[in-house]
Structure 1
Amino acid sequence: MAKKKKKPILIYPKIHSRFNNEKVERALILKVRELLGREQDINFILLSGQFFDTRGWAYTALRDWRGAVKPSSSTSKKPQLDATFACLSVYLSSLISFQADFKFAYEEVKEILLHNERDDLWMIIEEKLPFVSLPPAEMFPPGLKSPISPYYTLRQDEDLFLGELYSTVFLSNFVPNLKSRFFVFFEHEGNTAFGYFSKLPTSTEKFGFEQPPRIFDAEPTEENLLTFIRESTNFKDLLGLLIVCHNNSILEQFLVDDYETFLNKLLEIEEIDEGEG
């Protein structure tokens, strides 16, 4: 008896803006590769976007991931990684922003307890790291063993978050070649950017933790953008510039016009036959 085919779940992005400065795009990709360390052979995708219309998300992306394709009108190759990471970014951005509030509260509690010489209470709270609020298992939808995209906190500061998705994430059921477990999230003045990696870099020194982000305040000309890229020394710089490129339509833009449907389908885990495939 033939196996029942699963209904497609990914909502594929479409072209939103075709203009693309290839020199800036190439310079950004090469700089990211330099910061990661060319010898590490890490695949990556960086994204920055904004909400569009009611359920849409328009974004710009940098890709250096084997097998990744840009969204296009062609039907021969589907942009599975773009579709997955774009929708996942929408979900994670709200979740991480919520967690950031807990982090700042945690630091204030620490300062108060140590100031009042309550080391005993501080030791109890310190054991609870990472300080993340997750719902009890009883609140999960039927068949869901964990939240849609829970993660470990590896490191974070006021602007940048480095995390690892739990191995129980079900995304690989829909995108078999999705091997990413590690991501960074950058937020500055209400704008956000993400980076996804096929494996964790051996050092986070070039991420820019505990350093203020450089601000691009010049005219977004090709020359000024390329100069900023050359002078960048960490990921904060580049993620901030990717936001600038998106906001000024310097690179191609793509649109997921219904990210909510994708996320809602992922929550309907009970419909998935895990024994197939």
Structure 2
Amino acid sequence: MDTEQSARSLAPAGVLGVCLMLGLIVGGWLLGSQIKATRLADRYVTVKGLVERTVKADTAIWPVTFKEAGNDLPAVFAKSEADKNAVLKFFSGQGIAPDEITVGQIQVTDKLANEYGGANNNGPRYIVQQTVTVNSKNVDKIAKAGQQTAELVQAGIVVGGGYGQGIRYVFNGLNALKPDMITEATKNARASAERFAADSGSEVGGIRSANQGVFSISSADAGSAAGDGDGGGSADASMMKKVRVVATVDYYLVR
């Protein structure tokens, strides 16, 4: 009888012990899994994926600025108007449509009215300046016309040089290229991550973080380092453009 009572009193203790043992086993397994996951979370590789495309400009912008100077304002203005008509005639002869041409405002400078000029304002009193700008989608036509500017010189028109002059070629189709280029850049980045993982005996997991990078448009001409914000010259003078993006991706490494 005493033996049966002892067995009954020990049964709950045994069940409790088994439960405690199972709890310790499960808890240890969960803790081990968390530690392993934490360690794996610290294992990742940063790679870059580069994509470049060569494209042709889709817009040509050509400002032609000319000046006339003299002491008789009406006469100077008349000369400037004659220059404008000669420029418009030149553009028309090159097959440039009127709706591709914009005539800017006339700028008149009276050197005697310049309070900062003083006695150093020698030469003609009045300077009249005008700008006629071509904006065309037919870049080949504008490029060909740009080779014929000697005709303006022969007509006695002094075309202004300096900053902002000359033909600028612009590419406006970047938004259409972005999705495919980003996809390709990400694919190239993963390929780099897989090569690294293979060398280290690991496998590539999911993406930890990603930065698609900044798109840049530069000249595609050989030897040119011009680009958006590069400071290496102007890419606008080149009809062919190089579109470039570098995606930076962090991939988890497993195993």
TM range (shorter): under 0.3
The TM-score, its normalising length taken from structure 2, stands at 0.23
TM (normalized to structure 1)? 0.22
Bigger radius of gyration among the two: 2
Larger helix percent: 2
Instruction: Indicate the structure with greater strand content.
Output: 2
